[in-house]
Amino acid sequence: MVHIKPFTLDFDEYRKDESRAVGEAASISFPTCEADVCAVLAELYPQRVPVTVQGGRTGLASGAVPHGGHVMNLSKMTRALGMRAANGTYYLQVEPGTVLSQLRGDLEDKNINTAGWSAASLAAWEQYTHDRPFFFPTDPTETSATIGGMVACNASGARSYRYGPVRPHVSGLRVVLADGATVLDLRRDQTHSIGRSLELLPQAATTGGAGEQGRQGSEPGTAVGGAVGGAVVGGVGEQGSPSHAPIHIDLPGYHMPATKNASGYFAEDSMDAIDLFIGSDGTLGTITLIELELTPTPQVTWGVSCFFEHEEQALDFTVRVRDNIADASALEFFDAGALQILRQQKTQGTAFAGLPAIDPHADCCIYVELQCVSEDAAYEQLYRLGAILEDVGGSEQATWVGRTDIDREQQRFFRHAVPESTNMLIDERKKTDPAITKLGSDMSVPNERLHDVMAMYRTTLQENDLQTAVWGHIGNNHLHVNVLPRDMRDYARGKALYQQWAQTVTNMGGAVSAEHGVGKLKRDFLTVMYGEDHIRAMARTKLQLDPHGIFGRGNLFSTDVLNEVAAAMAGQADDPHAFDQAREA
């Protein structure tokens, strides 16, 4: 039986995540299976204890930072529960605590612990081991991220240029609702909204004896009362009849930007029910199983780092590459500020001494990853890339082509050294003023606004005399503008700028959070993007699934907003027990 432990000093690290924000909690648990999750929630529910669900705590928006109550850390739910083969590909079911690096390695080595799998899963696995290689393409920088966390914030990465965020690769989810007694078994293409109205058919969670099975890690198809894995494989309709009343949900009425977006709930007409939960920032339920659709591994992967003397050339290059290079899987940008910090760190410290030398004339760089079906195709795309480069005023000479593992590793080192070296710079400044911290933006705009958004960044940064390093996913017009404050005045000016940018980016049809999620840190930006009415509509959606506002307190909405909406739903505004009343409403 899983224990709910008091939140003693031993668990201090679970108060924070990579955003470096720190929260508070009264208790903590580490479930090892869905039955554990149900048991913990069922125990906490009568007291309406808020629950913050955690994975690898690698998020940058404080989504996993507790806001009082209980921390449910899923890092011990790491099993692969089954596999199915269909449509020429494979679907792997994993628990939410599965770490990305582990999953990648297991898929590549075709070495997964299949203990307890059903006969059907074992047959699919056997087929997989003899098939060509497959992979899971979502590639956030932090490979210690968990799959559950990635789904919760709809994570992306460099390759989202070609493969999109994690969303299209998720084909099934199991979600335990706040009472611990209700489970949603969601499979893509099975349940859609009618307009903005969605009806979900929950199942009864099975705990107790079935939970024992789950903990023993035996048959995934029968673990947790025959629901885990089997339900995802078979689908809701095939696994017995729902034992709870349908849940009716009114989806928010906003129109999402036509750009890379991880800002608030996914909502559109006739949407797939599963998409509401992907990117919901841990506010609707606890994900206990994820089914991932695997992608065939490309035969050839080459990296090409292209250096430019002027930023304008890099922007023109991006537009041309988008139109002409079909096999590009990533387009990543590094500006003059980023290269300058790298040059300094290379000469000053030992950590980056092994970096390849950067041409002193280079002002900025774009890394293009090519993924092709053959070497011949890769050469054709490479030379086409070279021609575009020369057309926009660059040079084929000023490039690095990574065709071998060693070269690709050098390029990876270079790309990862950029954020690391800026962090080192900030750490150095913290010695003078511990309050100083890096400010990083996560906004995206539609393709046609790339030049405009860059002009906006440059003009406003120059006006404010701020040191910055800009890098990120230029292929998706999604740049992380990092302000590197020299003092707290710089910090304040940077924060004000971000608010200003959120408005301008929204006006351009963009998103205030493109990949990190909103969490607690970008709540205000979300209000700028959608307006207060839509935020309330979002809160209403949440409360229809989580009537007492148990999950993810502080994420997406402030407690005040949630309270206000709950009270309105209960018809009793300003009632301190509004969450409790809302359920009956």
Partner 1 sequence: MNIVVCMKAVPSTTEVKMDPVTNTIVRDGKQSVINPFDSSALEEAVCIKEQLGGHITVLSMGIPDTVRLLRDALARGADEGLLLSDRAFAGADTLATSYALSCAIKQLRQPAALIVCGKMAVDGDTAQIGPELAATLGIPCVTDVCEVLEAGEKAIRVRRATDGGFAIVEVQLPAVITVAKDIRIPRMPSIAGVRFGQTGPVAVKTAADVDADRACIGLNGSPTQVVRSFTPERTDAGISLCGTPNEQAQALFELVEGGLR
- For partner 1, the binding residues (CB under 8 A) are 304-305, 354-357, 379, 382-383, 385-386, 389, 396-407, 410-411
Indicate the residue among 294 and 401 with the shorter CB distance to partner 1.
401
Indicate the residue among 43 and 396 with the shorter CB distance to partner 1.
396
CA distance 60 to 57: 9
Q: What is the dihedral of CA 569, 570, 574, 576, to 10 degrees?
A: -120
* DSSP secondary structure code for residue 511 in this structure: B
In terms of residues, how long is the chain? 585
Indicate the residue among 318 and 410 with the shorter CB distance to partner 1.
410
Tell the smallest beta-carbon distance from residue 385 to partner 1 (Å). 7
User: What are residue 469's DSSP bridge partners?
Assistant: 482
Tell the smallest beta-carbon distance from residue 495 to partner 1 (Å). 39
Indicate the residue among 13 and 405 with the shorter CB distance to partner 1.
405
Tell the smallest beta-carbon distance from residue 386 to partner 1 (Å). 4
Chain-centroid distance of CA 298 in Å reads 23
Q: Is the dihedral of CA 414, 416, 417, 422 positive or negative?
A: positive
Indicate the residue among 11 and 400 with the shorter CB distance to partner 1.
400
Order across the sheet with 5-6: list the strands.
5-6, 27-29, 70-73, 51-54
DSSP output for 253-297: -PPPPSS---SS----TT-BHHHHHTT-TT-S-EEEEEEEE-EEP
Indicate the residue among 54 and 399 with the shorter CB distance to partner 1.
399
Tell the smallest beta-carbon distance from residue 565 to partner 1 (Å). 48
Indicate the residue among 398 and 585 with the shorter CB distance to partner 1.
398
Beta-carbon neighbour count of residue 97 at 10 Å? 23
Tell the smallest beta-carbon distance from residue 399 to partner 1 (Å). 5
Indicate the residue among 42 and 398 with the shorter CB distance to partner 1.
398
Tell the smallest beta-carbon distance from residue 457 to partner 1 (Å). 29
CA distance 550 to 531: 24
Do 84 and 121 meet the contact criterion of CB atoms below 8 Å apart?
yes
Tell the smallest beta-carbon distance from residue 397 to partner 1 (Å). 5
Neighbouring C-alpha atoms within 13 Å toward the C-beta of 555: 35
Measured between its terminal Cα atoms, the distance across the chain in Å is: 34
Beta-carbon neighbour count of residue 533 at 10 Å? 11
Tell the smallest beta-carbon distance from residue 240 to partner 1 (Å). 44
Indicate the residue among 410 and 477 with the shorter CB distance to partner 1.
410
CA distance 534 to 252: 6
Indicate the residue among 90 and 302 with the shorter CB distance to partner 1.
302
Tell the smallest beta-carbon distance from residue 396 to partner 1 (Å). 4
Do 44 and 177 meet the contact criterion of CB atoms below 8 Å apart?
no
Angle among Cα 509, 513, 515 to the nearest 5 degrees reads 120
CA distance 160 to 411: 18
Do 157 and 270 meet the contact criterion of CB atoms below 8 Å apart?
no
Continuous segment of H or E residues that includes residue 101: helix 100-109
Tell the smallest beta-carbon distance from residue 54 to partner 1 (Å). 24
Q: Tell me the two tokens of residue 101.
A: 């690096």
